[in-house]
Every structure is written in structure tokens, then in C-alpha cells.
Amino acid sequence: MKYEQLAKDIIKNVGGKENVNSLTHCITRLRFKLKDESKANTEVLKNMDGVVTVIKSGGQYQVVIGNHVPDVYTDVRAVGGFSSASEEATEEKMSPLNKFIDTVSGVFTPILGVLCATGMIKGFNALFVALHILNATDGTYILLNATGDCLFNFFPIFLGYTAISKFKGNKFIGMAIGAALVYPTLAGITAAPAKPLYTLFEGTLFASPVYITFLGIPVILMSYASSVIPIILAAFVGAKIENGFKKIIPDVVKTFLVPFCTLLVIVPLTFIVIGPISTWLGQLLGALTLAIYNLSPIVAGLFIGAFWQVFVIFGLHWGLVPIMINNLSVYGYDPVIALMFGASFAQTGVVGAILLKTKNKKLKSLCIPAFISGIFGVTEPAIYGITLPRKKPFILSCIGGALGGAVLGIMGSKLYIFGGLGAFGIPSYIGPNGVDNGFYGAIICVLASFLIGFMLMFFTKLEDNQVTETVKEETPLVKQEILVSPLKGEVKPLSEVKDEAFSKGVLGKGIAIEPTEGKVIAPVDGVLTTLFPTGHALGITSDNGAEILIHIGMDTVQLDGKHFTPKAKQGDTIKAGDVLLEFDIKAIKGEGYSVITPVIITNSDNYLDVIETDKKNVNYREDLLTVMI
């Protein structure tokens, strides 16, 4: 395995495989759902070779890898023994926004690659016709169009699979619901010269002709070929119905009776209730987004273009993806999400300027792959590795994206397919009537966004031009302070301490020790700044400024000093190894108290990281914690 060691390090620092509920990936990120995010060593991961950064959003712990994330994902799955499809229930409480984002990303992420691929094929096919390379009657065009249209025309089947998986239902029941929605015979019933039996809600916005009934109940037939909302809602309800039948149907016949009963209920219910209502909701949603766009396409372009990258960073773009796909289904185009197209090119232009300006060899080596991937719309390496840490370049890229969005708004550009990213997305702006002003607007947007981003960055001072050029080869870029163990005993993670102030890291990062001897020595040179009168806890400030708390046992303050014998006094200057305190382990345990002892850095937020020893047992003066300064 090419990334086996990286996979092992990632699994270790997300808290181990036992801390992982589920694992998926998107274009550049591993998306973990962790049982306890406090067990993850976020700073260690951020500074790990092979990891760009870590993002916590939408209830997910996202480890940004870069363009080769599929290979890393494969190795992480293999090393951790994770299933690609299984996802255990998690007790994590999420806000409604996080739940929504998590649900939408869970539904769309698995098919995102194929969705982009088929959109690219359809987009290039349209480009070939516009350039008169192909004719719409050519066999080549027809076959390519079938390849490009296959997913979108049968979208409910694919979404049925992913949506019901997200809702913990049978994947094939989800596919069956989606297949029923696009069943050809039902679609043909409404074709001319067929006449409706009658019309429901006649004279209203929701007037619907009825061509057939089910057990005397009117069925409103609609086109579900490219729809999104009906199948997602149907999958949600279907999963609930399926779980209900699982509880009452005997195990011996569950295999076929659960799907049998579920489909008999959910498919008619979808056509009679869920489908029409969700279709109407989709139409209203589309009308609302178009109304906002029509108020001022230029303002909308400035806003979407400027903040699209911010939405991506926080995962909020997933909330806009269904709107785009819904608009494509309802209207055949989307003018709203189309306005984000310049953002990736502005980001790439900024990176291009940094590449030319910087004399920092490491930064230059980061810029080259980030620039190349940015051309094709994958900007996470550029954002997290280059522009966002330096703040000003990221802001300049947002300005370039805003102006590119304004150009799209002025030119009335629309997205006609959900195609490729970056340069591959240009054909997505070719409409059914061929090349028009909207397509030219997309071209102008690409050039303008790139050049604006490039020029703004090129004429702006780059603060860290020569950061590493002046550092001698033998000089470490990161300093560290090592704390030796103040106790002898068994090493335990803080999460095992039965006090949330320690176990959740509220008081700082560190480690715990179950002592086998009742003696505490100084872990560093410094000052004994605090010695509690009860003797159960002491605070030390090292000569390098690390603030250390050693807390012997849990709730031992209630012993009021009994069984504790201080060997130093508050304010003393101490050297590593000096005996500071003695205590009677047997007597303390006899009083009913635990002697597990957290050793933490209370000002750990001031440091890059605090790295714990990987030993299971430690003796006095052995390395225990490393503080990265």
C-alpha cells in the first residue's frame, strides 16, 4: 500500500479505529464521523506530512488530503478495516444546520464523481455540436449523449440508493422506489392524445390533471426523470416504514416480506402524496431562487462569487447543491450557483502570482501542484496550504471571485448541466440553443477572475517571501520542550479520567498516570508557582513558559491534606528531578478515592501542539510530554 504509513498515522490521530463511526471521501477530503472528536489530535494531523489541514464542519471531522485522496482513502479503509458502506449510529447531537448539511452531503457525495463525469461528457458533446465537429443526428453524438444523460435521466434510482442508505434503509428498496418514479409506462400515460379524467385544484397554482387512480384514489402523474426532492423524501419515509415492518414481521420471512410490504406502501404513497407535494415544493424553491436572482443578478453575482470559497470551507455549499439540481430539473438551467464559477480561477490566479513572487523554495514547491489542480477546479490545496494561512491572499481571491460573479450576472450566464470543475466546467454554460452571451460571459469570467486575482496578489506585499531562506540548514524551524515524567506508573489517555474538565481537555492538553509509587518529582526546570494547601495538586511554570498542572487523584481535595506530604514550598525554584511531594497511595485508595493523576499543560493553546508519549508505562525522568513551541 502506497500510503500505508500515512493511513496508520491518520487513524491513530483521529482517536483510533474504535473512535470512528464512519468514513467517506469527496474530491480532496477524508470525511470521518467520530464518536468523540476530543480524542482526535487535530494539531498533530494538521502538521503531518501528507495532510493539508483539518476542518470540523457539518458533524464531520474532515482531513484534507489533496488530489490523491481516493488512494489514501483506500489505504485508510484497508488499515482500519472500515467498511465503505456501513455507518454506525452516532449519539452526537448536531444542530439543525449541521444535520441538514450532513444529510445532503451523505446523499450527494457518493455520486459526485459520476455526476461530474457525465456532466462533462454532455458538456463537451454540446461543445462539439456548437463547433460543428458533430451533428445532432450522428451516431457518435447520440451515443455520447446517452452516456452523458444516463445518470440525470434516471437520477431517482441513483439518489434512491444513496438517500435510503443515509436513512439506514435497504438500498435496493430505495432503488426500486426511484425506478418506479421513472417507469416508462407511467410517463407515457400523460402523452397526447390522452385526456385526463378530471383536474384537481383547478384554477389554482397547483392545478393537476388526473389520468389514473389507485384503489379509487386520484394519482397525480408528474415527470420525475431528473427530480431530487421527491426521491429523497420518499427514501426517508420508506426507511421509516421498512423499520416499522422489521419490528412486526417474523425473522423467518423478513427477507422477502419486509421489502414486499414496504414497497406496497411507499410506492403508491409516493405517487399520491409525497411526489406531488415535494414537486410543488421544488417548484416554489426554484421560483424563490430565481426571484432573488432577478432582483439584481449583479449583486447576486458579487455575493456568491465572493463567499463561495467560504461556503466550501465550512461545508455550507452542500445546502446550495440541491437548489442547483432542483433548478436544473424544473427549469433546465440554474443561474444562481452558476455565479460561483470565477472563484476557483481567482484563487488559482492568486497562487500563480505567489509562485512568481516568492523566493521561499518550500512555498514555491507547494504552489506548483496547487496551481495545476486549481485550473481544474480543485482549490483545497491552494486554500488550506497557501492562501488561507496567509489571510490577505485568500481575501484577494474572494475579491476576484466576486468580480467574476458580477460578470456572470451582467451577461446572464446560466448553468445547463452539472459538469466538471474549473476548465472542465466551461461547456456547462452552453445551452440547448448553442453558444450565446451567457457562454461568452463564462469565458470572460474565467479570464477576469484569474487576472484580477493574479494582479491583486502580484502588486501586494507577500509577507513571508524569505521566511526559510534565512534559516540555516541545521536550525530547527519548530522548537520544543520536553517534560519528563513526574511519576512512576501506567500511562493512560486523559479521556479515561472520570472528570470532564480533564477528559474533555477543558483545562488543557496532556496525559494521565496511574501511579505505582507515591512520589512526585519536578518534570522541568522552573518555579513551583502553586502548591495547594491540601497538597493534592501543584502548578509549575517552566523556564520556557509552559504552565503545568499535576493533580493527584480525583476529588482528593476532600481529604483536606491527609496522606499528602509536601517536600517543597510554593515559590521555590526547582530543577527537573527534585522531589516535590509524597503521598500514600494505599491510604488514599482506602478512603475510596482514585489516584489517577492528570499531568496537563494548562496554557497549551499558546503552543503548536502537545505530544504524549506512546509508552504504556513510565518511570521517573523518562520523556512524557513534548511541547511544540
Do the beta carbons of residue 146 and residue 135 sit within 8 Å?
no
Helices (H), 358-416: 361-375, 380-382, 392-411
Q: Which of 26, 116, 398, 445 is catalytic?
A: 26
358: which residues sit within 8 A by CB, 6+ positions away?
A: 364, 367, 462, 464, 465
Q: Strands 212-214 and 217-219: what pairing?
A: antiparallel
- Residue entry with cell 470565477: 342
For residues 333 and 416, the answer to whether their CB atoms sit within 8 Å is yes
Concatenating the DSSP letter of every residue in 472-495 gives -TTS-SS-EEEEEPSS-EEEE-GG
Type and span of the H or E element at 24: strand 20-25
Please classify residue 364 by burial: count the beta carbons closer than 10 Å to its beta carbon, then call 0-12 exposed, 13-18 middle and 19+ buried. Answer: middle
Helices (H), 528-611: 585-590
d(CA 47, CA 66): 15
- Residues 98 and 310: their CA atoms lie apart, in Å, by 16
Q: From CA 549, how far away is CA 519, in angstroms rounded?
A: 15
Distance CA(263)–CA(186), nearest Å, equals: 17
Active site residue 26: yes
Alpha-carbon dihedral angle through residues 473, 475, 477, 478, given to the nearest 10 degrees:
150
Full 3-state SS string of 347-371? HHHHHHHHHHHCCCHHHHHHHHHHH
Catalytic residues: 26
